């Protein structure tokens, strides 16, 4: 048994030195205190990283097909009244959403009651003999379906009854704040804020400004919020808070947006499917009457083929212990080297002083 103990004793990698042979120095004490503070500082730094989740970022190819894209917006136009401002959206698949702002009708106009038998004329835009247009909006919609523009709304009985032109005049000098959302196909497309009603013909969107073709419009605007999808922690929308003020009229302001699909998973496993985006912009003055260049704010968006995934994770406990051991062992070894260098350096200097070196 004693032979086994002796063999195990010979395997000791930490041989002990008799305390009579220890020599403690002042410099060694200072190095011990300094290295202890460094160890504690690094230990608490590692502990803080271990207790807090870190975010892992990965890039993968977006292989999803179809789906919808949710666009949330909040915009202010200080120089354009709500009565003439509209939103239009169209994508490369051909799906259109024209004039998607809902506006209340005037108190003395609007649709007829259900018990009335009157059937208003669509002024040549009827798709069938029994089609009725009982409001100014229905006449405009019938014209849009035909690809026609209304050049003089004063000649339309329904529009006179709703007193739309007077409403526009009453709101002169007012602004408009628009807040809402769009649900569009997950393909490239555009949406715009324009002072007028749009209609579609031959793959182009045209603008009908009612009886206001000679008017000038100031498209100064502020983007309070523009997001493509739900919010998650750390999401930054670069256009939030952007403000443009124009002194001149009839400006076409364009934003070109690159949408990046994003999946965010928090430490609790809750997953949010959203989007990030980057944006560039361009603006130019336009001549009124040019159907291909009209005043307004236009957003052209396209989707990136690369998807970003964020996931919150804790550092594994074994990694934490490995880092702690590396800190303690590394600082202890470096401190020992520094102490040995100082100790032997002091001894050599003393020998030089008394003439014993060499």
The per-residue pLDDT for range 102-158, each reduced to its tens digit, is: 443 333 333 334 444 557 777 777 777 677 887 777 887 888 777 776 666 666 766
**CB-CB contact of 270 with 233 (8 Å):** no
pLDDT at residue number 352 = 73
| Burial track 211-232 (b if 16+ CB lie within 10 A, e otherwise) | beeebebbbbbebbebbbbeeb
Q: Which class is domain 58-101+175-200+216-313?
A: mainly beta
pLDDT at residue number 226 = 95
To the nearest 10 degrees (0 to 180), the angle between helices 317-354 and 26-51 is: 160
pLDDT at residue number 284 = 86
pLDDT at residue number 155 = 64
pLDDT at residue number 105 = 32
pLDDT at residue number 257 = 96
Stretches where the chain sits below pLDDT 50 are 102-116, 199-214
The pLDDT tens digits of the residues spanning 71-96 come to 999 999 888 887 778 888 888 887 77
pLDDT at residue number 214 = 43
- Averaged pLDDT score across all residues of the chain: 78
pLDDT at residue number 347 = 77
Parse the chain into domains and list their residue ranges: 24-53+315-354, 58-101+175-200+216-313
pLDDT at residue number 207 = 45
User: Whole-angstrom Cα distance, residue 220 to residue 346?
Assistant: 77
């Amino acid at each position: 048994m004693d032979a086994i103990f002796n063999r195990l004793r010979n395997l000791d990698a930490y041989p002990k030195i008799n305390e009579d042979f220890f020599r403690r120095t002042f410099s060694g004490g200072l190095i011990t205190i300094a290295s202890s503070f460094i160890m504690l500082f690094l230990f608490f730094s590692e502990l803080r990283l271990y207790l807090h989740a870190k975010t892992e970022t990965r890039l993968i190819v977006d292989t999803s097909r179809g789906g919808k894209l949710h666009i949330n917006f909040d915009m202010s136009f200080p120089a354009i009244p709500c009565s003439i401002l509209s939103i239009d959206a169209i994508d490369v698949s051909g799906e259109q959403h024209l004039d998607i702002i809902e506006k209340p009708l005037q108190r003395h106009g609007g649709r007829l009651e259900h018990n009335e038998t009157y059937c208003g004329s669509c002024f040549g835009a009827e798709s069938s003999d029994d089609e009725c247009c009982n409001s100014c909006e229905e006449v405009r919609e019938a014209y849009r379906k035909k690809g026609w523009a209304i050049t003089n709304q004063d000649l339309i009985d329904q529009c006179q009854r709703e007193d739309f032109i007077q409403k526009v005049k009453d709101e002169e000098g007012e602004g408009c704040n628009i807040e809402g959302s769009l649900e569009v196909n997950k393909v490239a497309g555009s949406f715009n804020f324009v002072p007028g009603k749009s209609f579609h013909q031959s793959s182009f969107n045209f603008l009908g400004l009612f009886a206001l073709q000679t008017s000038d419009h100031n498209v100064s605007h502020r983007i309070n919020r523009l997001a493509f999808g739900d919010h998650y922690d750390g999401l930054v929308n670069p256009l939030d808070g952007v403000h443009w003020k124009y002194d001149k009229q009839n400006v076409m302001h364009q934003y070109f947006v690159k949408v990046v699909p994003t999946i965010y998973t928090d430490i609790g496993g809750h997953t949010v499917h959203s989007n990030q985006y980057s944006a560039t912009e361009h603006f130019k003055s336009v001549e009124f009457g040019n159907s291909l260049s009209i005043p307004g704010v236009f957003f052209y968006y396209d989707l990136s083929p690369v998807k970003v995934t964020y996931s919150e994770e804790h550092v594994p406990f074994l990694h934490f212990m490995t880092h702690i051991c590396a800190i303690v062992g590394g600082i202890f070894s470096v401190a020992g080297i520094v102490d040995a260098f100082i100790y032997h350096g002091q001894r050599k200097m003393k020998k030089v002083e008394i003439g014993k070196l060499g």
